[in-house]
């Protein structure tokens, strides 16, 4: 089967692969929105949108005020109320988006002025951004943004080398809690992750929400450009093909699917170099945005060292388990991320979907 280009307004962003799923091939797609962006604005927003987010919900949109003057907004339609009832993960994800945006703007010679406006995680207008050309802006290699991805399988148990740990964690030691695989807390975190995933898989509300964010068919991939695909969940081969062709939302609610999810988590936690917990000083909107940015700065650095990252947030989403973990590890600051890290032999290119820019930008005052 040959690949099929998917065109909106003339520029292809994805094509279908031989397995019949969308594949990233190009950038800066246009989608018929009346807002005319400059090439630089388009590049900056495209790179910002490559940020990670829970269930790949991409809970952001841009209110366009005028060129290079935007408000980064919280998109309540893309919240995950069953697993993230306080929109904690939503704001962390938007923090990652803002980090990408800043690096992307810097790479084109823009300084970024940010002013936070929101006091709660639910407010729509979060951050006002103004960009202006400036001298001496630190240059950032945006290939890191384009090639970052979440990886879930085939981790090695090889411990992280000291120079890699220095490179990754040294600058922000206060917020990174590294639990290597020879620590007693490592197996404890493995067990609690399996526990939390089991609880969540059998919590119908959470499972239904997950079902709504899985895009089994190519039609749904093209229609939404958000969510999880069989490729991004790394369900490959015959199993992936079968899910793509014969599965739908209702199948996610079956016990066989729930058991399969728990089984894959069991397999995943069998190997990694370490768990990494990221904490914040507090739980304010600013704390969460800063933590999302911190996580993303790290995420953008790991690939060049052959290290993969896999956020596994179920411990924090199942509240009683999260409290127990913080007490057992004697961590007082709020834990915002639980991440598996480890070397991998093969580091595939990113495959998760993204919306075209025009789908997440609006003019102030319009809907």
List CB contacts of 197: < 8 A, sequence separation 6 or more.
Answer: 261, 262, 265, 312, 314
**Minimum gap (Å) between residue 22 Cβ and ligand FMN:** 13
Nearest CB to ligand FMN, comparing residues 84 and 358: 84
Distance CA(340)–CA(278), nearest Å, equals 11
**Minimum gap (Å) between residue 288 Cβ and ligand FMN:** 10
Nearest CB to ligand FMN, comparing residues 180 and 350: 350
Residue in the shown chain whose Cβ atom is closest to ligand FMN: 52
HSE at residue 183, side-chain half, CA atoms within 13 A, is 16
Nearest CB to ligand FMN, comparing residues 55 and 110: 55
**Minimum gap (Å) between residue 274 Cβ and ligand FMN:** 17
Closest to 179 (Cα-Cα) out of 340, 7, 65: 340
Looking at the chain, list the stretches that DSSP marks H as alpha helix, in order from N- to C-terminal side. Answer: 39-48, 88-107, 143-147, 162-169, 184-201, 204-213, 218-224, 237-246, 249-252, 255-269, 285-302, 314-317, 319-328
List CB contacts of 212: < 8 A, sequence separation 6 or more.
Answer: 249
Nearest CB to ligand FMN, comparing residues 87 and 181: 87
Nearest CB to ligand FMN, comparing residues 118 and 269: 269
Nearest CB to ligand FMN, comparing residues 131 and 145: 145
Closest to 237 (Cα-Cα) out of 21, 24, 19: 19
**Minimum gap (Å) between residue 292 Cβ and ligand FMN:** 7
Nearest CB to ligand FMN, comparing residues 63 and 200: 200
**Minimum gap (Å) between residue 317 Cβ and ligand FMN:** 8
**Minimum gap (Å) between residue 52 Cβ and ligand FMN:** 3
**Minimum gap (Å) between residue 334 Cβ and ligand FMN:** 14
CB 265 within 8 A of CB 190: no
Give the interface with ligand FMN as residue ranges (CB under 6 A): 52-54, 56, 89, 92-93, 96, 149-150, 152, 228, 232, 310-314, 350, 352
Distance CA(12)–CA(288), nearest Å, equals 35
């Amino acid at each position: 089967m040959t690949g099929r280009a998917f065109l909106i307004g003339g520029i292809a962003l994805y094509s279908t692969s031989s397995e019949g799923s969308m594949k990233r091939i190009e950038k800066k797609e246009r989608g018929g929105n009346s807002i005319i962006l400059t090439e630089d604005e388009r590049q900056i927003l495209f790179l910002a949108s490559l940020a990670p987010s829970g269930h790949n919900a991409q809970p952001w949109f841009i209110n366009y005020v005028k060129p290079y003057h935007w408000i980064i907004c919280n998109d309540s339609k893309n919240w995950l109320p069953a697993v993230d009832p306080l929109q904690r993960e939503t704001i962390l994800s938007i923090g990652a988006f803002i980090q990408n945006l800043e690096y992307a703007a810097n790479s084109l010679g823009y300084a970024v002025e940010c002013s936070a406006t929101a006091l709660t995680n639910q407010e729509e207008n979060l951050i006002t951004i103004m960009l202006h050309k400036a001298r001496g802006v630190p240059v950032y290699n945006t290939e890191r943004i384009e090639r970052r991805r979440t990886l879930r399988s085939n981790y090695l148990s090889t411990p992280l080398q000291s120079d890699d740990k220095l490179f990754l964690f040294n600058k922000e030691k206060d917020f990174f809690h590294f639990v290597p695989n020879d620590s007693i807390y490592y197996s404890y975190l493995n067990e609690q992750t399996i526990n939390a995933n089991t609880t969540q898989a059998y919590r119908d509300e959470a499972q239904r929400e997950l079902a709504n964010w899985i895009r089994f068919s190519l039609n749904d991939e093209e229609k939404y450009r958000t969510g999880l695909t069989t490729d991004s969940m790394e369900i490959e081969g015959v199993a992936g093909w079968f899910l793509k062709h014969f599965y739908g939302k209702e199948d996610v609610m079956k016990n066989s699917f729930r058991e399969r999810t728990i089984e894959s988590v069991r397999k995943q936690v069998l190997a990694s170099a370490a768990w990494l917990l990221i904490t914040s000083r507090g739980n304010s909107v600013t704390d969460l945005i800063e933590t999302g940015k911190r996580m993303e700065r790290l995420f953008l650095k790991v690939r060049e060292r052959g290290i993969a990252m896999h956020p596994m947030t179920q411990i924090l989403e199942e509240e009683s388990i999260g409290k127990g973990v913080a007490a057992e590890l004697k961590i007082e600051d709020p834990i915002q991320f639980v991440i598996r890290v480890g070397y991998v032999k093969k580091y595939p290119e990113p495959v998760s979907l993204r919306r075209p820019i025009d789908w997440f930008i609006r003019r102030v005052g319009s809907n």
